[in-house]
């Protein structure tokens, strides 16, 4: 029985029993519900950031705060450059993850291994970029409870800006880190032929869902902190 012919006219019969109404594996459905709850967690963080920003008269200009980049000479002013590199790293690693899932569906072990390695490299590259940025901001005097930046209009700024920045990008970075760990475990399981023995690569799909979610959250974090 093919798994792609469910949108048939007798869809009502999905619920008479005898088959899975969602036509999806249990673990995958549960991964979706976990990601939904995680979306609410991130949503709560980002909305509280929005609420505080809306209730404050001034706010630092992100183009003034995030303007550096590694190995750049002192005093260089390059807003958005470094963060766009980070964004593209995450998008590309998301694409290689899709390719790994796709290879898994075709039972193509070599394809899964190759694309998982690229995905893991992308994740580590992103984490390195974030580590550099955090370190740089820390040395400018920014941390939880310390904000060296002024508001865009030159008035004194609160520490809300840095508190939200480090909390939310930190929480996202922690997700990236766990995603990399999960991907490494999946790579090891693939290399040990675990999925060949099971006859399917559904675990790669589930890890893929998590990894895409991490990319999805970054779309929001990147836009809200760096662009708006």
Partner 1 sequence: MSHTHTDQEAHNKEAMAEIKKVTIILSVFTIIELILGFWMISLTSQALILAIKGTIVILMMAKAFYIVAYFMHLKHEVKNLIMTIVVPLSLFVWFIGAFLWDGSSFRNLRNNYNPYFKEQATIKVEKKVEEHGAAKHEATDAKHETKHESVETKHEPTKPEVEPYY
Cβ proximity to partner 1: between 89 and 120 the closer is: 89
CB 82 within 8 A of CB 226: no
d(CA 159, CA 170): 16
Cβ proximity to partner 1: between 51 and 193 the closer is: 51
Count of alpha carbons within 13 Å of 142, Cβ hemisphere only? 23
Distance in Å, CB of 56 to partner 1, minimum: 7
Give bridge partners of residue 143 from the DSSP assignment. Answer: 146
Distances (CA, A) of 22 to 7, 19, 133: 11, 9, 43
Subset of 94-133 contacting partner 1 (CB under 8 A)? 94-95, 97-99, 102, 106
d(CA 212, CA 100): 12
Subset of 186-225 contacting partner 1 (CB under 8 A)? 205, 208-209, 212-213, 215-216, 219-220, 223
Cβ proximity to partner 1: between 117 and 152 the closer is: 152
Structure tokens at 134: 């955090």
Distances (CA, A) of 178 to 45, 76, 127, 182, 212: 19, 34, 11, 6, 13
88 binds partner 1 (CB under 8 A): yes
Of 115-123, 144-152, 171-179, 180-188: span binding partner 1 (CB under 8 A): 144-152
Subset of 23-42 contacting partner 1 (CB under 8 A)? 23-24, 29, 32-33, 36, 39-40
163 binds partner 1 (CB under 8 A): no
| DSSP label of 16 | G
157 binds partner 1 (CB under 8 A): yes
Distance in Å, CB of 108 to partner 1, minimum: 10
Of 124-132, 157-165, 169-177, 182-190: span binding partner 1 (CB under 8 A): 157-165
């Amino acid at each position: 029985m093919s798994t792609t012919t469910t949108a048939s006219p007798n869809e009502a019969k999905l619920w008479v029993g005898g088959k899975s109404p969602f036509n999806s594996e249990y673990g995958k459905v549960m991964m979706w519900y976990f990601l939904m709850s995680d979306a609410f967690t991130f949503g709560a963080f980002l909305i509280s950031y929005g609420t505080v920003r809306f209730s404050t008269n001034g706010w630092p200009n992100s183009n003034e705060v995030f303007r550096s980049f590694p190995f750049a000479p002192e005093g260089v002013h390059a807003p958005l450059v470094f963060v766009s590199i980070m964004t593209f790293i995450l998008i590309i690693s998301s694409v290689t993850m899709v390719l790994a899932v796709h290879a898994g569906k075709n039972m193509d072990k070599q394809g899964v291994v190759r694309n998982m390695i690229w995905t893991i490299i992308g994740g580590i590259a992103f984490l390195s970029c974030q580590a550099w940025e955090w370190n740089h901001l820390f040395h400018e005097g920014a941390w939880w409870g310390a904000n060296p930046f002024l508001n865009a209009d030159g008035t004194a700024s609160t520490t809300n800006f840095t508190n939200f920045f480090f909390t939310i990008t930190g929480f996202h970075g922690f997700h990236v880190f766990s995603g990399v760990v999960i991907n490494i475990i999946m790579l090891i399981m693939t290399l040990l032929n675990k999925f060949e023995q099971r006859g399917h690569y559904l675990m790669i799909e589930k890890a893929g869902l998590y990894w895409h979610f991490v990319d999805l959250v970054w779309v929001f974090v990147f836009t809200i902190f760096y662009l708006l």
